[in-house]
Amino acid sequence: MIRRRLLLAVALAAAVPLTAQEPAGPLVSKALEAETAGRNRDAIAAWRAALAAGAVVPGVLGLERVFSILAQEDSMIALFDSIIPRHPKEWQLRSAQLRTLATVGLDTRAARAFTEWRDLTPADVTPYREYARVLLFNGRAAQADTVIRMAADALGTTRALVLEVAQMRAALGLWKESAEAWRDMMAGEPYYEQATVFSLGPAPAAARDGIREALSREPASFGALQSLSLLELGWNAPRNGWTVLSKMSPSDTVVAIWKQFADEAERQRAWTTARDAFTAIHAARPDGEIALRGAQAALKAGDAPAALLLARSASPLLPEPRRVLDVLPIELEALARLGRATEAEAVLASAKPAIGEDGVRAQARTIAWAWIRAGDVGKARAALAGAPLAAEDAVAGWLALFDGDLATARTALRNTEVPGQDVISALSLLGRTRLTRSEPIGQAFLALARGDSTNASKRFEAAAVDVSEGASLLLTIAARIETARRSEERALMLWRRVAEEHKASSEAPEAQLEWARALRRRGDVKGAREHLETLIIDYPGSALLPQARRELDALRGAV
Amino acid sequence: MRLICWMRRPQITGRILAAGLVFAALAGTGAPARAQHLLVPMDDAQSNHLKAYGVTFGALTDGIRSEWLLNYRGGAFLLPDMPSLRRAAALAGVAFEPVDGAALATIRKEITDGNMDAVALEKAPRIAVYTPPDAPPWDDAVTLALNYAGIEYKKIWDDDVLDTDLSQFDWIHLHHEDFTGQQNKLFLGFRDAPWFIQARDRDIATARKHDLSDIPSLKKAVADRLRSFVERGGFLFAMCGATETLELAVGARSVDIAGPFSDGTPMDPDADNKMDWTRTFAMQGAHLEFAAGVNSMSDIDGHQVNVPSRRQPLGTFSLFGFSAKFDPVATMLVQDHRNVIGDYYGVTTSFMRKVLKPGVTVLAHEEGAPWVKYVHGTYGQGSWTYLGGHDPEDPQHNIGAPPTDLALHPNSPGYRLILNNVLFPAAKKKPLKT
């Protein structure tokens, strides 16, 4: 009886082709059409018809998809029972059967189906691979591990299962071991870097050093290094990522990897890293567009010398209109930040035939800033002569402030379109005092504009002696500068002065908060608590109260 | 500087202004004038409802008697006017209003004339939270609330429940522990996850230490100790899956209701009929879920969040109003500044009405739904309260979701229900009038 059935199955297998033949073609198209349109009932009927007409694999896979959408995967079980005996070695049917059985929770039957398939093709890795994948997909990493070990015992190697090994280990939280498997994988097939990043990305911080070691150990493939660099970007450590790649000798492949990394770093606003990557790409394969992006990244990173260098090397590689439109503003901005005002004026003058009078006027503010950085307020003022009025107003306000002309600055700075911290500080101070002139205040703001923070801080502190009505604010500006410079001792001294000598000032709550933070950084939790409590109790109307309460909660471990 | 004497003001803005001026008074250089009492409003004038419980609890811990003014301004607290309490309230951002003798008389008159009452709070309850030793603080809404409010508690786990005298605590809280010993049937999806394996191994080791054969036996023993704790006069508050599974575990003392994946033997096929509902606190006649592949314990929960084909959408639930003078306990448990609150899922989200015992007090329900959200009752000399759902400020609460930051929800009406339960054992016992 069994023999007769087997004969029948063999005969059927010979008679029914596995893929769609001519008569089944239109039926497959009809089924696909119904499935795409979301007419699931029609799709089931059509796939069944296609299956009957000989399109076995497309028919079964189609039915699997539709029943999955309807959450009726169990409807597939009977179909597999009837069709697999007719096509026992068809791996796509076997794989679909494993998926279905696992999805509906028939684990024992799935294991039995796997065993049956494995025994049918003992030298084939496919049953192991497909079953391991199904188990991994269902979160059964430990059982997938068992299957992979069985493959190793039966086949003598898991070489063909490296991908599954890597996924399985990551799912089990065996991060270093997973990285090792991914490394092996990419030694032969480097295009798995995105899969590696997806798999290892969730690794906790404590496990990352193991991953770094596994992926970067010599000899490391390009894929492994690229994966590690992208992982580092995802872990918010772009500098580490570039360190991995920068050691590679440039070749077309390496430059392509660098380019992908630079794009990603730029997208993540990791400006210093993007600057370095673009610089390296440009050095290996000179490219005006790359150099220009490098210059922009350098400017955003606050690295004016690099921006200038890259902009100038981009210029000859770009067409004339791009030089004026894109390179010139970056070059001028970089020169301005460097205080190289004479050079900036010369560059602008040489570009005048191309950009015209209007173009020159549009850069007047940049030139003025260049002179301010150079410490020459007079020439900055001269640079603004004939410049568009809208730009002139705010800059004129700054120039007046630098001159110590507080009256003019008080009016003009109000017109600043986008007020930053510097404008807010200046306007706060100007609103606090009735003085019309003050050289010390002007000198302090000028020092700040020049980027001379040490000098600026000292000048603001000194100005507090002369301008008593704004003393607390001047000391606060000095303290903010020192805090930003991480000059802890001097910052703390200044915050203490504000908190103790100007208790009634509007800056006192900020001083208490910063004082508390400084103490907390030193590990003095008790002291930090006292100052936070002082802030909350003594300054109940302060806008800093929510922050103080939050930090107080954090100190006692409540949040 | 002059302090504003407290007067009942109809406008909320007036109250906020009063609170602000009180704060302003504290900032002054001179010592502020002392009223006789501090009223901590719990209506919309309160800036931080959750920490208000902490301030009151702190006063009780220091031996300072307080009063809970039920149904008065959202369930306000009345504290003696002391510098330490003013300071504690100010640090916590809790609004308060000084009240002199005349104003207090007006308040008491208003309370006497309306559906309100004043309950004395005498002593800070001794609190225990049943939680695994390695559980992060955000794993449990009660731990979160207690930490945020600054209320001290002790953590207990299986060994403590089985080996120590639970009468040292007034109040025990349970969260989403599965007392049927099936680890919330997470076996289905997480059996290979390291945290799941670690929890299973830990529980098996504890079971063996106590000469018990498996996790279901261990959890049944723990559940029975908790039942005895209530019977002897303790207060038990449970949320999420602990509510349903505690009932099932207590009722299944002599029947196997655990699936084979947890104890190696199948459930008793006649388990439904063998359940002893006379032992349980709140439920009766529920039907157990026999399918190991269905992530549900029984038909107690109305929402069945982990069974896609049965899951019910979230609605809102309404708190019942009780007579403060006749039902002070139920009234205490529903003190809130909102009567209708958005629902939130948990392993057990709600309780089907049809399985509630007749004597159970329903504190909150969903209008028109066959389930209720919040129930309370007595058992022996003690009492219990069940609140469905996991985290009032995280309605979906998926495994791995980021923790709730209560600093962003200082006025959470859902969390207030939890803290009502924390404070209610501090109330001076009055004989029930109904």
Over residues A102-128, the mean pLDDT reads 88
Cα–Cα distance, A127 to A91 (Å, whole number): 8
Q: Give contacts of B 295-324 with A, CB under 8 A.
A: 308-309
Across the interface, whether the CB atoms of A71 and B309 are under 8 A apart is answered: yes
Cα–Cα distance, B124 to B128 (Å, whole number): 13
For chain B, the distance separating the N- and C-terminal CA atoms, rounded to the nearest angstrom, is 49
Across the interface, whether the CB atoms of B26 and A552 are under 8 A apart is answered: no
Share of chain B residues as helix, strand and coil, in percent rounded to the nearest 5:
35, 15, 45
Among the ranges given (A88-92, A382-386, B77-81), the one the predictor scored with the smallest mean pLDDT: A382-386
Tell me if A278 sits within 8 A of A297, measured CB to CB. Answer: yes
Considering Cα of A58, then A63, then A64, then A69, what sign does the dihedral take? positive
Over residues A372-378, the mean pLDDT reads 79
Query: And the tokens for A221?
Result: 């493939």
Question: Confidence band (pLDDT; 50, 70, 90) for A147?
Answer: confident
- Which chain A residues have a beta carbon less than 8 Å from that of B24? 540-541
Cα–Cα distance, B428 to B117 (Å, whole number): 13
Query: How far is CA A489 from each of CA A485, A492, B67, rounded to the nearest angstrom?
Result: 11, 5, 49
Please name the residue that has the structure tokens 């110590």.
Answer: A404
- Report percent pLDDT > 70 for chain B: 88
pLDDT at B36 over 70: yes
Over residues A117-132, the mean pLDDT reads 87
- In chain B, the residue whose alpha carbon lies closest to the alpha carbon of A173 is B194
- Helix A304-314 vs helix A328-338: crossing angle, to nearest 10: 150
B363 φ/ψ angles, rounded to the nearest 5 degrees:
-95, -30
pLDDT higher at B4 or A75? A75
pLDDT at A420 over 50: yes
Residue A467 pLDDT: 87
Among the ranges given (A3-7, B260-264, B319-323), the one the predictor scored with the smallest mean pLDDT: A3-7
- Which chain A residues have a beta carbon less than 8 Å from that of B50? none
Tell me if A453 sits within 8 A of A485, measured CB to CB. Answer: yes
Query: And the tokens for B389?
Result: 């759902």
- Please name the residues in contact with B211: beta carbons below 8 A apart, sequence gap of 6 or more: none
Q: Give contacts of B 331-390 with A, CB under 8 A.
A: none
3-state secondary structure of B411: coil
pLDDT at B13 over 60: no
Across the interface, which of A139, A558, A559 has its CB nearest the CB of B189?
A139
Count of alpha carbons within 13 angstroms of residue B201, beta-carbon side: 8
Cα–Cα distance, B305 to B30 (Å, whole number): 58
DSSP H helical segments within B192-337, as ranges? Answer: 194-209, 215-231, 240-251, 260-263, 271-274, 328-333
Across the interface, which of A537, A545, A552 has its CB nearest the CB of B26?
A537
Count of alpha carbons within 13 angstroms of residue B203, beta-carbon side: 26
Across the interface, whether the CB atoms of A172 and B293 are under 8 A apart is answered: no
B40 φ/ψ angles, rounded to the nearest 5 degrees:
-100, 100
Q: What is the DSSP string of B168-182?
A: G-SEEEE-S--TTSS
Across the interface, which of B24, B148, B406 has its CB nearest the CB of A540?
B24
Across the interface, which of A139, A173, A546 has its CB nearest the CB of B190?
A139
DSSP H helical segments within A217-303, as ranges? Answer: 222-234, 238-246, 252-267, 271-284, 288-300
- Please name the residues in contact with A313: beta carbons below 8 A apart, sequence gap of 6 or more: A282, A286, A291
A204 touching B (Cβ < 8 Å): no
ipTM over 0.90: no
For chain A, the distance separating the N- and C-terminal CA atoms, rounded to the nearest angstrom, is 73
Across the interface, whether the CB atoms of B406 and A559 are under 8 A apart is answered: yes
**Interface size between A and B, measured as CB pairs under 8 A:** 59
Residue A158 pLDDT: 66
Tell me if A37 sits within 8 A of A67, measured CB to CB. Answer: no
Among the ranges given (B41-45, B186-190, B317-321), the one the predictor scored with the smallest mean pLDDT: B186-190
pLDDT at B17 over 50: no
Among the ranges given (A115-124, A378-387, A454-463, B106-115), the one the predictor scored with the smallest mean pLDDT: A378-387
Element (H, E) at A55: none
B105 touching A (Cβ < 8 Å): no
- In chain A, the residue whose alpha carbon lies closest to the alpha carbon of B83 is A537
pLDDT at B132 over 90: no
A139 touching B (Cβ < 8 Å): yes
A202 touching B (Cβ < 8 Å): no
pLDDT at B101 over 60: yes
Tell me if B99 sits within 8 A of B37, measured CB to CB. Answer: yes
Count of alpha carbons within 13 angstroms of residue A70, beta-carbon side: 19
Query: And the tokens for B36?
Result: 């006789």
Tell me if B277 sits within 8 A of B251, measured CB to CB. Answer: yes
Over residues A117-130, the mean pLDDT reads 88
From B283's Cα to the closest Cα of chain A, the distance in A is: 31
From A47's Cα to the closest Cα of chain B, the distance in A is: 26
Query: How far is CA A172 from each of CA A139, A140, A177, rounded to the nearest angstrom?
Result: 9, 9, 10
Across the interface, which of A540, A552, A553 has its CB nearest the CB of B23?
A540
Over residues B227-235, the mean pLDDT reads 96
Cα–Cα distance, A172 to A145 (Å, whole number): 9
Residue A104 pLDDT: 83
- Which chain A residues have a beta carbon less than 8 Å from that of B293? 105
Across the interface, whether the CB atoms of B192 and A139 are under 8 A apart is answered: yes
Across the interface, which of A71, A537, A556 has its CB nearest the CB of B90?
A537
Q: Look over chain A and give the mean of its residue pLDDT values, rounded to a whole number.
A: 86
- Which chain B residues have a beta carbon less than 8 Å from that of A168? none
Cα–Cα distance, A108 to A76 (Å, whole number): 17
Tell me if A98 sits within 8 A of A131, measured CB to CB. Answer: yes
Count of alpha carbons within 13 angstroms of residue B385, beta-carbon side: 24
DSSP H helical segments within B100-239, as ranges? Answer: 101-113, 141-149, 158-163, 187-190, 194-209, 215-231
Cα–Cα distance, A329 to A362 (Å, whole number): 10
Segment A195-249, tens digit of pLDDT: 888 888 888 777 788 899 999 998 888 889 999 999 999 998 999 999 999 989 9
Query: And the tokens for B322?
Result: 């009780």
φ/ψ bin of B181: left (φ > 0), alpha (ψ from -120 to 50), beta (otherwise): left
Question: Confidence band (pLDDT; 50, 70, 90) for A390?
Answer: low
Tell me if B413 sits within 8 A of B338, measured CB to CB. Answer: yes
Tell me if B344 sits within 8 A of B390, measured CB to CB. Answer: yes
Cα–Cα distance, A221 to A190 (Å, whole number): 8
pLDDT at B431 over 50: no
Across the interface, which of B147, B150, B192 has its CB nearest the CB of A140?
B192
Count of alpha carbons within 13 angstroms of residue B17, beta-carbon side: 10
Across the interface, which of B148, B150, B192 has its CB nearest the CB of A141?
B192
Across the interface, whether the CB atoms of B91 and A552 are under 8 A apart is answered: yes
- Report percent pLDDT > 90 for chain B: 72
Tell me if B237 sits within 8 A of B384, measured CB to CB. Answer: yes
Across the interface, which of A172, A536, A549 has its CB nearest the CB of B194?
A172
- Which chain B residues have a beta carbon less than 8 Å from that of A173? 194
Q: Judging by DSSP bridges, how do beta strands B171-174 and B127-130 pair with one another?
A: parallel
- Which chain B residues have a beta carbon less than 8 Å from that of A139? 189-190, 192-193
B367 φ/ψ angles, rounded to the nearest 5 degrees:
-55, 125
Q: Look over chain B and give the mean of its residue pLDDT values, rounded to a whole number.
A: 87
B403 touching A (Cβ < 8 Å): no
From B189's Cα to the closest Cα of chain A, the distance in A is: 7
Q: CA nearest B361: which of B391, B393, B321?
A: B321
A132 touching B (Cβ < 8 Å): no
Over residues B264-279, the mean pLDDT reads 93
Across the interface, which of A142, A533, A550 has its CB nearest the CB of B192?
A142
Which residue type sits at B339?
N
From B73's Cα to the closest Cα of chain A, the distance in A is: 24
Question: Confidence band (pLDDT; 50, 70, 90) for A26?
Answer: confident
Partnered with residue A53 across adjacent β-strands are none
B432 touching A (Cβ < 8 Å): no
A140 touching B (Cβ < 8 Å): yes
pLDDT at B109 over 90: yes
Query: And the tokens for A195?
Result: 């899969």
Cα–Cα distance, A555 to A532 (Å, whole number): 10
φ/ψ bin of B185: left (φ > 0), alpha (ψ from -120 to 50), beta (otherwise): left
Cα–Cα distance, B398 to B264 (Å, whole number): 29
pLDDT at A536 over 70: yes
pLDDT at B33 over 60: no
Which of A536, A552, A556 to mutate to probe the B interface, most B CBs <10 Å?
Answer: A536
A141 touching B (Cβ < 8 Å): yes
Segment B59-82, tens digit of pLDDT: 999 999 999 999 999 999 999 999
Query: And the tokens for A262?
Result: 């630079």
Tell me if A460 sits within 8 A of A481, measured CB to CB. Answer: yes
Across the interface, whether the CB atoms of B193 and A556 are under 8 A apart is answered: no
Cα–Cα distance, B379 to B383 (Å, whole number): 5
Q: Give contacts of B 267-286 with A, CB under 8 A.
A: none
B148 touching A (Cβ < 8 Å): yes
Question: Confidence band (pLDDT; 50, 70, 90) for B150?
Answer: very high
Residue A226 pLDDT: 92
3-state secondary structure of A469: helix
Residue B401 pLDDT: 59
Cα–Cα distance, B173 to A118 (Å, whole number): 52
Tell me if A35 sits within 8 A of A43, measured CB to CB. Answer: yes
B147 touching A (Cβ < 8 Å): yes
Residue B43 pLDDT: 96
- Which chain B residues have a beta carbon less than 8 Å from that of A172? 192, 194
Partnered with residue B40 across adjacent β-strands are B77
Residue A441 pLDDT: 93
CA A482 to chain centre: 30
Across the interface, whether the CB atoms of B90 and A541 are under 8 A apart is answered: no
